[in-house]
Structure 1
């Protein structure tokens, strides 16, 4: 995983947690960010 994606995910996670997010919303946010960056995300 590139440093760029790591930084983007780290920022998104920190933002979600600062808004009072829990594990479920953090996972959802990770999926959104990866999808926006062009990764294929499959929810199981």
Structure 2
């Protein structure tokens, strides 16, 4: 992501599970964001 070059992070925990990359349109009406987040099965719901 823009502005993150050289940033550091600490991994707090790890989970052995299936993850998905998602595309989304923000509720603010902004443009489509592709491959935004790794979502776990628990975070997804059917519409």
Structure showing greater radius of gyration is 2
- What is the TM-score normalised by the length of structure 1? 0.23
More strand by share: 2
